[in-house]
Amino acid sequence: MKERIAWLKSIAVFTVLSIALAGCASIEKSNATDAQQMLAAAGFKMKLADTPEKLAHLKTLTQRKVVPHDKDGKPVYIYADAEFCRCLYAGDEDAYDRYEKMVVRENVAEMNEAAEMNWGMWGPGMW
């Protein structure tokens, strides 16, 4: 009986951890999708890793961060995502500037939303 209870506890722990990890992956994918939508709106061009060679190279790049690179003496900004879209986004300085402004606007909007939270109406508690 003790062995069965221990086995059931193990299954329960595994199930809870699996659900938690799936939730984290979902949030990460959502964040990646949001960034990719902003990159596209800013003028970045999406390129699919449609060959094994491109995917292998894509995996060597910094993932899900805009990183400057040099191409023919000019800066090009690259966002690589080998996991979710299996693509990269490439943009010039103008596209990068537009993207940065979008990120700042989004951060300001989030800060304004947080500042508008009326904690007093929720009464005393854990905070």
Task: Please give the Cα distance from 30 to 24 (Å, whole number).
Answer: 10
β-strand partners of 81:
87
**pLDDT tens-place string over residues 65-122:** 999 999 999 999 999 999 999 999 999 999 999 999 999 999 888 888 887 887 777 7
Note the pLDDT of residue 54. 98
Q: Which residues of 69-81 are buried (b: 16+ CB within 10 A; e: fewer)?
A: eeeeeeebbbbbb
Note the pLDDT of residue 118. 75
Polymer length of the chain: 127
Note the pLDDT of residue 30. 58
State the average pLDDT over residues 3-9: 58
Is residue 50 helix, strand or coil? coil
**pLDDT tens-place string over residues 7-22:** 555 554 444 444 444 4
**pLDDT tens-place string over residues 15-67:** 444 444 445 444 454 577 899 999 999 999 999 999 999 999 999 999 999 99
Q: Helix %, strand %, coil % for the chain, to 5?
A: 60, 20, 20
Note the pLDDT of residue 94. 98
Which conformational region is residue 69 in: left (phi greater than 0), alpha (psi within -120 to 50 degrees), or beta?
beta
